[in-house]
Amino acid sequence: MEQKKKFTELWELGEFRLIDLLTENNKIRNKSTLMGIGDDAAVIRYDGQKTTVITTDLLVEGIHFDLAYTPLKYLGYKAVIVNLSDVYAMNALPRQITFSFAVSNKFTYEALKEIYEGIYQACEQYNVDLVGGDSTSSRKGLFISVTAIGEAQEKELTFRSGAKPGDLICVSGDLGGAYMGLLLLEREKKIIKQNPQVQPDWEGKDYILRRQLRPEARGDIIELLHDKNIVPNAMIDISDGLSSEILHICQRSGVGAKILEERLPIHEQTKEMALEMNLDPTIPAINGGEDYELLFTLPVDEFAKIKDYPDIHVIGNITDKPTEVNLIMRDGTPIPITAQGWNSYDERPFEE
């Protein structure tokens, strides 16, 4: 009797394993392709030493954003930022973007105009040009895709795969704010749904709300590194959570890592919101996504050039033990780090 073929559900694999499986047989056919799938952005070189960096992201209503609490102007702004952040993570500078969307008939011209206002604001803020895109209709909801194009000297490019034992692990800004902002928005949405007369409580929470709704890309950090003639050994942006990102670096570089809990930079509003929700602030700091900070590794002597810059923090070091990627708790206990951040395919299908 012929056995019924077993199909693999996407939730069984998770986003990163799915991408690995789908692209394991991908072949690079052109010498101009310096980096294909497997980093924050692809890298192309046509001639000379200057390279083109390309990245793209797809944002889907109900998965990546909720229009119940996301202003359309902020959505347009954020759609650009998430791509610029990937360009910066290659130690490159963004120059152009394209913007494409699919939209249902529930949206009006005025709604789309608001999205474009956010896009134009981001282009102005980061000195990039909107140079094209596409549009079509959808049966349900809003789909947004942005492609960002940047440039860098080949010798200055930074990949996930260059971390070396002894490197310092550095992070810009602070961690966990965007995730706590999301939890706050979801909490208030539920309260208002139960009682539409209730006004949301945003007092003292402006920072974490901004981190979620209108984040910024860390072009200032890249400019600082360029000014100091520093090329990180490895770098990635924190979009899926610190835990996932340090594992990407370690796996690509064949190294291990120690991250010190006491060194994690956490904003006061993030701490307060976490405690209000009965969470240890370390949890959003290491597992929360969408901070769009830069995580990078440096030789010890290079850090001396930027040690006085207040928005760069040393949170650990790279080791020569690839199987050991640990969070060292305040009492010295090592806890293995697992990928707990964002996963596009973590929802199982509904059962009848």
With H, G, I as helix, E, B as strand and everything else as coil, classify residue 209.
helix
Residue 271 CA, distance from chain mean position = 21
Enter the pTM of the model. Answer: 0.86
Residues sharing a CB contact under 8 Å with residue 126, sequence separation 6 or more, in sequence order:
80, 84, 94, 217, 219
Is 151:51 a contact under the CB 8 Å cutoff?
yes
Integer Cα distance of 204 and 180 in angstroms: 13
Strand partners, 35: 43
Provide block-wise average pLDDT over 10 residues at a time, the chain (352 residues): 65 64 67 64 70 92 94 97 97 92 88 93 94 85 95 93 97 98 95 87 93 98 97 97 96 97 98 97 96 98 93 98 96 91 46 34
What pLDDT is attached to residue 349? 40
Q: Please, what's the b/e burial string for 163-188 (b: 16 or more CB within 10 A of its CB; e: otherwise)?
A: beeebbbbbbbbbbbbbbbbbbbeeb
What pLDDT is attached to residue 350? 35
Domains of the chain from N-terminus onward: 31-156 (3.30.1330.10), 160-336 (3.90.650.10)
